[in-house]
Amino acid sequence: MASESTKLTPFEAVTACFHRAADQLGLKDTTRELLAGTYREIRVQVPLRSRDGGMRTVYGYRVQHNGARGPYKGGVRFHQHADLDEVRALASLMTWKTALVDVPFGGAKGGVQVDPNTLSEGEAERMSRRYMSQVSYVIGERRDIMAPDVNTDAQTMAWMMDEYGRKNGHTPAIVTGKPVELGGSKGRDAATGRGTIMVLIKAAADHGWRPEDVSVAIQGYGNVGSWAARLAADEGFRVVAVSDAYGGIYSGGGLDIDAVDTQMRETGSVVDTPGTDAITNEELVTLDATVLIPAALGEVITASNADQVSARMILEAANHPVTPDADDILADRGIDVLPDILVNAGGVTVSYFEWTQNLQEFKWSEKQVNDELYRHMAAAYTAVQERAAKENMTQRQSAFQIAVERVATAAKLRGYL
Ligand SMILES: NC(=O)C1=CN([C@@H]2O[C@H](COP(=O)(O)OP(=O)(O)OC[C@H]3O[C@@H](n4cnc5c(N)ncnc54)[C@H](O)[C@@H]3O)[C@@H](O)[C@H]2O)C=CC1
Ligand SMILES: O=C(O)CCC(=O)C(=O)O
């Protein structure tokens, strides 16, 4: 999925952010080479028996980007665009994200390149199990731990955990984001959206904005977008627009999130929620709202629409929603972009809490989870703001510098360099 305007692939785009930080930090070429590349990439065939009894083969990937700071960690997505390059990009982002929020993991990501709309529940289960089985020889509770991402959820993690356990002996710590009944952590489901809104609260306060004066548009109403909408509204922000793959809805006075959730439950989409106006996903991105939160797929803000963005601030809840050339346009226009490796890091932070609970065979209360999440998010937010202000750079550059510095230090201490 190359960005049209720049022709940079997602991995090239993320690597460009790394190189910019490496330049600013004056990293040696040997360090650069190690940190820019991926440690291990595997591609597996996942044969699938379809509804009509026929067979088809899809491909799955697991990319382990860097493990200097701890076991590889990252979600797995099922999507037709999840090719090797996209999975590499997402694995690299995990390395920088885990370093920025200071959880003791490296970075990895997985993907199965399939259109999830073509799968029945039975096929999704068989595919999840087969994928886990095919990659299981490179993962482990202290080697590489999976989690949900686009089109995967707690149920997917339950199947994967079960499949891994059949071969290797049961260990809940092999995946995070699993159902609470199977050792999942309280608060993991909401964690990415909650972390996003923790950042929103801090950023709004830094701008001197009162929540009731802040309108918010959110693209994507899955795990991340729906929790972000709910929690933003609970905090008094005016959520004026949300969308999903089928389209968007708008209400200038603020959406009734209960009504949106009901519509989602009953129809599988937010579209046509009573009392709202229809908008397209393209319109949502350029909507006149104070804050735009992309919470769906990557590369939705590009050079072709960045000059039409009306929001004063963008919180990247999705991974890599802004292409590098769009990033430059937004910076020139004075629009604050809070980067993905900060904004959506709440998910992996609570995954870390889940993993430690599993290893210690102990359970935390939801309050403890949320308090600790806040501690990690607030520390990362402050570090990013302070460095950006001190060195007069964008928040993405600041976040990458902090992360790259930490990973480079770990790699050196381990003797990789
Ligand atoms: N689930 C998690 O804990 C984390 C997720 N993320 C990122 O957040 C983003 C969303 O992930 P989830 O909410 O987990 O996925 P999800 O699968 O639960 O939800 C995805 C949402 O995006 C919508 N969507 C899909 N294609 C679209 C399109 N072309 N235009 C507009 N909307 C579209 C879907 O309809 C759905 O509402 C992804 O970029 C993911 O990598 C980042 C950190 C953690
Ligand atoms: O919770 C995790 O381990 C990873 C979540 C993820 O894939 C992400 O942050 O992009």
Lowest mean pLDDT: which of 17-31, 47-61, 175-189, 315-329? 47-61
pLDDT tops 80 at residue 5: no
Q: Does the Cβ of 101 fall within 6 Å of ligand 2?
A: no
Distance from Cα 393 to the centre of ligand 1, integer Å: 29
pLDDT value, residue 3: 43
Torsion of the alpha carbons at 279, 282, 286 and 291, rounded to the nearest 10: 80
Q: Is 167 a catalytic residue?
A: no
pLDDT of residue 50: 76
Indicate if the pLDDT at residue 12 is higher than 80: yes
* Section 328-333 average pLDDT: 97
- What whole-number distance in Å separates Cα of residue 171 and Cα of residue 335? 45
Q: Report pLDDT for 7.
A: 80
Amino acid, single-letter form, for residue 165: G
Cα distances from 263 to residues 135, 230, 270, 405, in angstroms, run: 38, 14, 6, 46
From 412, 417, 377, 385, select the one nearest 401 (Cα to Cα): 385
Q: Please provide residue 330's backbone torsions phi and psi, each rounded to the nearest 5 degrees.
A: -65, -40
The pLDDT value recorded for residue 52 is: 77
Phi-psi region of 6 (alpha: psi -120 to 50; beta: other; left: phi over 0): alpha
For the chain, list the domains and their CATH numbers: 35-175 (3.40.50.10860), 189-343 (3.40.50.720)
Q: How far is CA 347 from the centre of its chain?
A: 7
195 CB near ligand 2 (under 6 Å)? no
Whether 415 has a pLDDT exceeding 50, the answer reads yes
Give the whole-angstrom CA distance, residue 345 versus residue 250: 28
| pLDDT computed for residue 417 by the predictor | 84
Nearest CA to ligand 1 atom 2: 149
pLDDT tens column, 123-142: 999 999 999 999 999 999 99
71 lines ligand 2 (CB under 6 A): no
Q: Considering only CA atoms, which residue is closest to atom 4 of ligand 2?
A: 74
* Tens-digit pLDDT profile for residues 288-302: 999 999 999 999 999
Question: What pLDDT does residue 341 have?
Answer: 98
- Report pLDDT for 171: 97
Distance between CA atoms of 31 and 181, rounded to whole angstroms?
43
* Residue given tokens 């904005």 in the structure block: 209
pLDDT at 383 over 50: yes
